[in-house]
């Protein structure tokens, strides 16, 4: 055990060669030690030697499977190690083996929704949209015992922060002409969240339904309607909550739709002018959306579209000054990514010949 402990310490210190020497000594002393092979596999994975790591971990798994009593005692380790193998197959782009391993884990625990995004992504990496759609249908047809609702509906709620998962679903459904099924799923998910009075979940499902309406069904008015309801219901959202975060996403896309609407109208249209007031109503002191979607910037764009250049300049001028303040400030909450965004915005705005900071 001493060599195994030293090996684990060396691995954490990223001294992989020393770690490997120690674990090999430990294995020589106990050839039936499944946990020693597990440690060896993790050391190899730390060196990105995925194939060797898979070989060592599979041997560890086989040792557990060969001893039912030991298997029962270490069942959590067993399934955790199976998941490691799935991830390593994925890293090796051995997608069929990865899918098989992930599916085994999912059959063991159908409620482990974290397994779904990589599985769907693998189908898409295999360029098999039909296979991806079959996978989505399987999830839709499977029912959660306690609620009777589809497992897919529960999954989209549980994975509300995994934006790429939702967009993969939408894209796959569009390619297979199954958007109606997906719309029904998200409506069901919205109904579930509403029945439980989970306001944050409700807002996220409204956000994704709006995305489905706008980008995939070309129903922009429906997107505006559902997003405006989200804005109305989240006016007092507390910063850092799921409701607040969903609101930020909605603000961004809703404002973009307002800009699109105004660009299609006459400058003197009274309807166009209403969108100025809509954007003003959206803004709250705590709204922390990305700078380029800040409501003051949106107002500037709308004023320009309406031909009110002086009002537009005022909006842009106040935002650029805020940019410079943030870029020169030593506020630790402003990260490198934020500064890059601000620098790009200033560069873009500086290309307007009529725009002056003073």
Burial class (CB in 10 A: 0-12, 13-18, 19+), 237: buried
- For position 349, what pLDDT does the model report? 52
- For position 358, what pLDDT does the model report? 39
In this predicted structure, which of 21-25, 294-298, 302-306 has the lowest mean pLDDT? Answer: 294-298
Report the distance separating Cα 24 and Cα 33, nearest Å.
11
Residues in the chain: 358
Question: Is it the case that residue 275 has pLDDT exceeding 80?
Answer: no
pTM of this structure: 0.80
Class of domain 1-109: mainly alpha
In this predicted structure, which of 94-98, 199-203, 345-349, 353-357 has the lowest mean pLDDT? Answer: 353-357
- For position 291, what pLDDT does the model report? 41
Query: Across-strand partners of 150?
Result: 143
- For position 274, what pLDDT does the model report? 82
Over residues 207-241, the pLDDT tens digits come to: 999 999 999 999 999 999 999 999 999 988 888 89
Question: Is it the case that residue 264 has pLDDT exceeding 90?
Answer: no
Q: For the chain, what percent of residues have pLDDT higher than 70?
A: 82
Helix (H, G, I), strand (E, B) or coil at 179: helix
Question: Is it the case that residue 322 has pLDDT exceeding 80?
Answer: no
Q: Which residues, including other chains, have CB under 8 Å from residue 46's CB and lie 6 or more apart? A: 11, 14, 16
């Amino acid at each position: 055990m001493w060599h195994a402990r030293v090996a684990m310490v060396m691995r954490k210190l990223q001294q992989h060669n020393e770690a490997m020497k120690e674990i090999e000594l430990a294995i020589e002393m106990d050839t039936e030690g499944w946990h020693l092979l597990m440690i060896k596999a993790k050391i190899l994975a730390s060196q990105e030697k995925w194939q060797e790591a898979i070989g060592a971990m599979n041997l560890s798994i086989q040792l557990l499977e060969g001893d039912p009593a030991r298997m029962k005692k270490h069942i959590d380790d067993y399934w955790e190690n199976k998941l490691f193998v799935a991830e390593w197959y994925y890293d090796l782009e051995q997608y069929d083996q990865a899918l098989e391993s992930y599916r085994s884990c999912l059959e063991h625990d159908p409620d482990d929704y974290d397994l779904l995004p990589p599985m769907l992504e693998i189908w898409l990496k295999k360029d098999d949209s039909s296979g991806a759609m079959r996978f989505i249908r399987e999830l839709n047809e499977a029912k959660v015992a306690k609620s009777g609702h589809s497992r897919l509906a529960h999954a989209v709620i549980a994975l509300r922060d995994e934006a790429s998962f939702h967009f993969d679903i939408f894209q796959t459904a569009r390619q297979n002409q199954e958007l109606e099924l997906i719309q029904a799923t998200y409506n069901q998910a919205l109904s579930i969240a509403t029945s439980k009075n989970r306001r944050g979940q409700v807002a996220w499902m409204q956000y994704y339904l709006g995305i489905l309406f706008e980008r995939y069904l070309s129903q922009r008015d429906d997107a505006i309607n559902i997003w405006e309801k989200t804005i109305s219901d989240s006016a007092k959202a507390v910063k850092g909550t799921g409701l607040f975060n969903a609101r930020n996403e909605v603000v961004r896309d809703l404002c973009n739709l307002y800009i699109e609407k105004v660009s299609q109208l006459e400058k003197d249209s009274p309807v166009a002018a209403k969108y100025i007031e809509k954007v003003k109503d959206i803004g709250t002191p705590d709204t922390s959306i990305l700078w380029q979607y800040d409501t003051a910037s949106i107002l500037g764009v709308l004023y320009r579209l309406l031909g009110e250049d002086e009002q537009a300049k005022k909006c842009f001028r106040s935002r650029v000054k805020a940019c410079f303040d943030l870029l020169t400030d030593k506020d630790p909450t402003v990260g490198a990514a934020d500064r890059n965004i601000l620098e790009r915005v200033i560069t873009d705005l500086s290309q307007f010949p009529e725009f002056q900071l003073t």
